């Protein structure tokens, strides 16, 4: 995959036609009861590269949900005491469709501030937006995806060791302290807008435009 230049978009357009050929789409069942009907949802299995193509070509941020899976960065001693690597799965539900700059301006207007001359600061160490939601970081030759929250967004997290779910309380002493990460620097923390910016490899599911994309080549990373 070519990296590090604006021509990446054209490259993804060339392989975009392959997305639907990897595996046939499936649909979830329609469930009916006395009060509501759950609409059928198309499920597509894709690779991380194909998901990056989709997000690169996407206009705006029409996400309704995303699932991330990462290995929690622990010491060798902690991993030994726990009996294996600690994996965190985070499921986010969103209720917004606007880019970061638009979200900042709306927040400024809500606070009674003039947003007419506001300009976003340059992204961290030469990183740049490939699309509304995708950020490329040349120093690490790595792509990140930006998701934005609003007051109606929700988050659920689960932890597993060797495939077995464990409670957060039982492993709390091993969890690293929160510090400013590279992902936070890439997000451009200029306001109170809450965002996340995971590596593309850590995104294992995205719901967008009525389609649930599920990634089959799950690559775990703790960066």
**Would you list the domain boundaries of the chain?**
8-215
Predicted pLDDT of residue 222: 46
pLDDT of 69 above 90 = yes
* Residue 191 pLDDT level (bands cut at 50, 70, 90): low
Predicted pLDDT of residue 19: 39
Specify whether the CB–CB gap between 53 and 12 falls below 8 A: yes
At 25, is the secondary structure helix, strand, or coil? coil
Range scoring the smallest mean pLDDT among 104-108, 119-123, 147-151, 163-167: 119-123
Of residues 81 and 30, more confidence is placed in 81
* Residue 93 pLDDT level (bands cut at 50, 70, 90): confident
Specify whether the CB–CB gap between 18 and 11 falls below 8 A: no
CA atoms within 13 A on the CB side of 197: 29
The predicted model scores a pTM of 0.69
Average confidence (pLDDT) over 102-117: 74
Predicted pLDDT of residue 176: 86
Which spans in the chain are helix H? 8-15, 48-57, 76-82, 100-110, 168-171, 182-187
Average confidence (pLDDT) over 13-29: 42
* Residue 199 pLDDT level (bands cut at 50, 70, 90): very high
What are phi and psi for residue 117, nearest 5 degrees? Answer: -110, 10
Average confidence (pLDDT) over 57-67: 86
């Amino acid at each position: 995959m070519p990296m590090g230049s604006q021509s990446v978009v054209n490259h993804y357009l060339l392989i975009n036609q392959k997305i639907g050929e990897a595996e046939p789409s499936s649909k979830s069942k329609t469930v009916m009861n006395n009060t509501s009907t759950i609409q059928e949802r198309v499920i597509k299995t894709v690779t991380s590269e194909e998901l990056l193509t989709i997000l690169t070509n996407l206009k705006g941020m029409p996400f309704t949900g995303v699932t991330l899976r990462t290995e929690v960065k622990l010491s060798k001693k902690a991993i030994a005491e726990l009996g294996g690597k600690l994996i965190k799965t985070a499921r986010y539900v969103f209720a917004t469709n606007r880019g970061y700059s638009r979200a900042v301006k709306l927040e400024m207007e809500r606070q009674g501030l003039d947003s007419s001359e506001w300009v976003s600061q340059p992204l961290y160490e030469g990183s740049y937006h490939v699309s509304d939601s995708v950020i490329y970081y040349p120093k690490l030759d790595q792509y990140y995806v930006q998701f934005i929250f609003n007051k109606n967004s929700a988050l659920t997290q689960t932890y597993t060791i060797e495939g077995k779910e464990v409670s957060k309380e039982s492993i709390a002493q091993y969890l690293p302290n929160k510090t400013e990460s590279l992902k936070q620097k890439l997000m451009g923390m200029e306001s109170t807008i809450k965002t996340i910016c995971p590596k593309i490899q850590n995104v294992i599911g995205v719901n967008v435009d009525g389609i649930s994309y599920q990634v089959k080549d799950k690559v775990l990373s703790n960066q």
